[in-house]
Structure 1
Amino acid sequence: MALAAVRRNLQRFAQAFNTETRLAVRSWTIHWLGWLWPLLLFTLISGIYQAGTLLDMPVAVVDADHSSLSRRVVRELDAGSHAQVEVLGGGLQEGLQRLRRAADYALLYIPRDFEADALAGRQPKAELYYNSLFYSAGYYSTQDFGGLVSALNQDLRPRLAAGMGQPLPSLASISVAYESLFNASGNYIYYQQFAAIVHLLQLFVIVATVHVLAREAPELRASSPHILRAKALGVRLLGKLAPYTLMFSTLLMVELFLLVTLNGAKINGSVLWMLAITLCYVAAAQSLGLILFIFTANRFSAYSLIGLLIGVAQTYSGVLLPDLAMPEIARLIAIAEPLTHTLHGLFDQFLRQAPAESGLYACAKLLLYPLVAYLIAKQRLRRRLDLSPA
């Protein structure tokens, strides 16, 4: 008896799966959402992040001293990897205007008597401003300046001591051993590009899910087989959504393959666990689309809310703001977002060669979303299809 019930459910799943697969193959909307538009965006993002790290960002310099020391500062700052220096002749106001127009990422102002004050031990200040609206790009344009100032101080100390006729005080001999951890935020290929393609996948999955479910509404049912009208709603719903789960999971793995092949990234962990997390992530995103469809009056209302949902996911997933810097209410929002758990699990495998327990933990959390969505759909989905327009 139980075996016969299992066999019937497998047949219902296969019937829904095959029917939906045939519809998807013939639908240009699905082709656009499923691979054409995502791969086009992936190509665009890869072009933006092609350098991997931020190099040669425009930095303006206003040199009011025109001394050998100020010219050395300008020359060595330009020789660094992050800044591409342009000396302005119009003074500080021109530099500030260029900074406001986003023509430059940062502005270095060297005051008058910079060299004279430095040699007299009066500690002059060369001020470096950067445009924080560029986020990490503005900040990274200033990265070479700190080391440059330290090197100048190291060179000037013996000259100042000789001018005062006093020997340099002996410094404590301190042995420092350190090892730099991988700074993912400084490498766009490993962090921001990877997070961007994972985040954008959620957008296409939710839009496609709402579109597919809307075809079951009464006014659209004539042009689409009403898969969800027969018995065993849960099994048929799984069969209806399963082709898209496989399609979007394959899409993300292809993008990761291109990321490794074309951009030189390296996967440190298990590809199989990354695939498992991806499958669970797509299923969780489909669950959000299902819930969004159920609790909106029509598909256009659902579409209008997707942007808000995706924006919240990006803001509170740890990509833009570190988890530890969030207030408690923001952390609760982050916990409610599948993107947060997905990025944690995928980064563990992509960057840190985490053990299998990490992947299993991420999959377990992501599978809670389909479970909750199934319980809601079982009670309200057919009522939503019967009483509400598409």
Structure 2
Amino acid sequence: MALVEQLKRDAWRFVQAFNTETRLATRSWTIHWLGWIWPLLLFVVISGIYKAGTLQDMPVSVVDEDHSSLSRQLLRQLDAGPHAQLVTQTAGLPEALRHMQAADQYGLLYVPRDFEKDVLAGRRPSVQFYYNSLFYAAGFYSTQDFAGLAALLDQQVRPVLAAGMGKPVPSLASVSVSFESLYNASGNYIYYQQFAAIVHLLQLFVIIATIHVLAREAPELRASSPHILRAKALGVRLLGKLAPYTLLFSTLLMVELFLLVVLNGAVIKGSVGWMLAITICYVVAAQAIGLLLFIFTANRFSAYSLVGMLIGIAQTYSGVLIPTLAMPLPAQAISYLEPLTHCLNGLFDQFLREAPANSGAYACLKLSLYPLVTYMIAKQRLRKRLDFSPA
């Protein structure tokens, strides 16, 4: 009976803290800005950047010294492809190189003199395609259509050459190389970069909102807020105070994923239910980080100043910018300590790979360790930070 009464009291305290914080949140413009206005505005901007799904119309300088019908056909077909947008440089190679050095164009295509003549004579002239690899994938993507066009041109020219020589077209050697791309996410910005960006940015808003909410109970802002945590059963009241924001940010991410599917045509391969479960655990883990920043800093401004550094570290070591397996061991350790790493792994499993349920459960289990460890570390320190006096 004593246990049942204790559970009832704790449930009442949780509901009381939840209701009080919900009323405060609905009247706070700061929470509205952090909770949905700014995140959705950034989502719209990011969606505009990644709308095409992949890099398209990369500007490429063209120097055509042949000016033949065959070279014009090659350039016309390349320009009609989705990746390259050709810009003819009438001043020749020096001008094209200057544009590449100034990053006005990401590639340089050079068609040599006597290109058509050499092709029709059975020789194999060399068409050079250079791309600037200093700009991540931009230069590389401008070359994507060229290899296929060159192969198509070769298929068209070979029968002409054979007919001119009065000989049948020789059969090709029966040797083939097959390339298959598994989980082709990195080539599609909707499925990889945009998805990772909105998950990563969510952590920023969750941590800042958590610090802001907790700071209202600290001595410097206590007069402007009800003292939800200045009572017995700190842990239960803390859960009740943060629960509205857990629901808010979890709903926000699921809405953004819904918009990703509706507006950008993305397809979810796995379970939406497990994606929701992973999202909730991820938000709670981010709130735990916000709690740690709050209790181990002198004031909220010091805590805010550390958020940017932590978010930058999370992005760098989450495996989005740099593959985790390619990192040195200290960097891999940092990666495994970041909740973003486990969240992205779990969400990508469900979003792209139709992974089984145990994958989602494993991601949730790892993310659940963050609030548990944080509360054990923070319990006594939080009382001191809030100038706690039981009522």
TM-score by length of 1: 0.91
What is the aligned partner in structure 1 of residue 11 from structure 2?
A: 10
What is the aligned partner in structure 1 of residue 93 from structure 2?
A: 92
Task: State the percentage of identical aligned residues.
Answer: 74
**Residues of 1 paired with 2:123 and 2:356: CA distance?**
56
What is the aligned partner in structure 2 of residue 125 from structure 1?
A: 126
Call closer, same or farther: CA 1:301–1:131 in 2, change over 3 Å: farther
Instruction: Report the AA paired with residue 69 of structure 2.
Output: S
Moved more, 318-327 or 287-296: 318-327
Moved more, 282-291 or 114-123: 114-123
Deviation at 1:284, TM superposition (A): 0.5
Q: Deviations over 1:327-371 (max 9, x none)?
A: 222221111111111111111111111111011000000001101
What is the aligned partner in structure 2 of residue 308 from structure 1?
A: 309
Instruction: Report the AA paired with residue 20 of structure 1.
Output: E
Structure 1 runs not aligned, ≥5 long:
none
What is the aligned partner in structure 2 of residue 26 from structure 1?
A: 27
What is the aligned partner in structure 2 of residue 134 from structure 1?
A: 135
Aligned ranges for residues 1-390 of structure 1 at < 5 Å? 1-118=2-119, 123-155=124-156, 170-174=171-175, 181-386=182-387
Deviation at 1:287, TM superposition (A): 0.8
Call closer, same or farther: CA 1:296–1:158 in 2, change over 3 Å: same
Deviation at 1:320, TM superposition (A): 1.5
Structure 2 runs not aligned, ≥5 long:
none
Q: Deviations over 1:265-301 (max 9, x none)?
A: 2211111111100000000111111111222222112
Deviation at 1:158, TM superposition (A): 6.2
Q: Does the residue aligned with 1:125 lie in a helix, a strand or coil?
A: coil
**Residues of 2 paired with 1:67 and 1:326: CA distance?**
50
Deviation at 1:315, TM superposition (A): 1.6
Instruction: Report the AA paired with residue 146 of structure 1.
Output: A
Q: Does the residue aligned with 2:301 lie in a helix, a strand or coil?
A: helix
**Residues of 1 paired with 2:307 and 2:118: CA distance?**
59
**Residues of 2 paired with 1:132 and 1:176: CA distance?**
26
Q: Does the residue aligned with 2:51 lie in a helix, a strand or coil?
A: coil
2:218 and 2:387 in contact (8 A); partners too? yes
Moved more, 25-34 or 303-312: 303-312
**Residues of 2 paired with 1:8 and 1:32: CA distance?**
34
Q: Deviations over 1:214-240 (max 9, x none)?
A: 111112101011222212221111111
**Residues of 1 paired with 2:141 and 2:176: CA distance?**
29
Q: Does the residue aligned with 2:386 lie in a helix, a strand or coil?
A: helix
2:183 and 2:353 in contact (8 A); partners too? no
Instruction: Report the AA paired with residue 269 of structure 1.
Output: G
**Residues of 2 paired with 1:31 and 1:17: CA distance?**
17
Deviation at 1:76, TM superposition (A): 2.1
Q: Deviations over 1:243-280 (max 9, x none)?
A: 10000001011111111122222211111111100000
